[in-house]
Chains A and B, each alone.
Chain A
């Protein structure tokens, strides 16, 4: 389906232009934007790409779908044939350089966020029912026990053999904090290699990854989910945007809403509502960082952002608009 750009940018809102969008305008392989959407990884992916014609756009979109499917077969905790589930079934596996590298990168983010981003909360996610959908508030003793057995530093990395070793069950890793972001990064990287250098991919509007903007524009328009005004938007170019909040998987019990973003220190849902938006170079980092900042809260954000050069965050509700690391 062909959509001319003019129809896309008819938003009656004040646009924030991300600094990266101000770089020199790059040539796109065409004038028209083509949109393709599909269901994957439990959400709705949408690719907008500038292409010379519909056939080319379809071939690029198919390549994008293939790559998301491939990443899903790597990281999915819902399909038994994924490499992720093989690791959890066998507990100690030699794996491919990709998964080893992905978890090494997670390792660096866990360290940089002081453990506020920690995917080893899988057993706690199960106890709250966030994976199965059978929600329940666990007892204090259950939370204490599962929090004690969790912890990223319990994974063993053997770089020489490329072996990953997990503690025994119920210890479990949750890929939710970076999987879709990694898929978005991979897709944009492949599209650039194919010559499709002007594109925006979003995974359920909670994760965006943009390459060069469409012709004549400063960036790709994206809506900031959960923002106060209905159409609060942003223009994205050469950047990723991730939003974390309790609005995704959550349930109501005991008179309050329990969101799926757990504080790894307590094993309990973090935050008191609202959302945090993060801009970073990659969707992987943006996804992980938005999760960590949601857990950390606004006051702790600058010190964490200091470990992620170029990243910025905005808390809604919040006091300070887009915030970045303090100048060194």
Chain B
């Protein structure tokens, strides 16, 4: 039976580590759901969970590249705070002066400036690491202090609020969702896209005369993917807007608000869409571009990469620039979600991001890591935290548990790798 299962799993082509992580996540969810009396696995909580995860998950995809190349980035939390502060000031105090308050282009300019700033700062840190050969740990530890201080300086410590209304949509919340119809459309498009990719990959493989998976395995995989995507849309659409927001929505649409309330779906939150797009792009970059291939080759053997003609110094600059850009995107999500930028935005995020990547199977020794792993790692971290908060675990105990889980996860990963002979 066990062997049969293993063969089946092997045929479908999911690796065991992924299966293990998903298993751990599901187990976690069930435990929290039981101990909160069914409050954890509700559309509302899952919606909140997905929104809360987005910012850290976006950064963790970049951290995979950083760690795979045997570096580390401790500055992401502080950098997130600094970029968010600059974006907040830009959209609130600077741009309205020239464009007028609430101008439609404010959010676009803000995001573009934020991402450029993040890329530039990341590239600079990467340059110091790659060309001046100061260890990444030191450079980004310095960065942690520098950018946190710089964030304070932008507004002399004042909180910037309220942020531009359109900008706030990027953080989820009541207005920042797709609604039911658009969510279904996105879900369907994603399903079709996934299935088409699978068919094309199979065709390409058999055109080269390679062995392909048995057809039933392909169908099973397609079925699982479809069920996951559409199931997610279903759950998100099952979470209605709260009364007040539904009323405002009805008024805005010119519908009469019925006395017994109105069921208007949240649908998928915009930050989750952003995360999805980032995840797809980063996966393609990791698996299908030369840059991604060189990232992994350099992590596996820097000397070999260098001797193969790869410019590993420039590669370091690019990896950190990418990390900076993703930090800026995370800054957009985090600040838009709160609708304000305070001085403590992003504090300790660097540790959450690194933990997510590491729980997701990224090896600190370099060369190994996956984008999907890091995202699942981020979901596990966030589930742990919000689950324990819901159960009512004391805050100090929460961090103890998270710490233990982090070490345990890496230990299990080491054991797994040893057994698998990797």
Co-assembled chains A and B: no
Q: What is A's interface to B at a CB cutoff of 8 Å?
A: none
Q: What is B's interface to A at a CB cutoff of 8 Å?
A: none
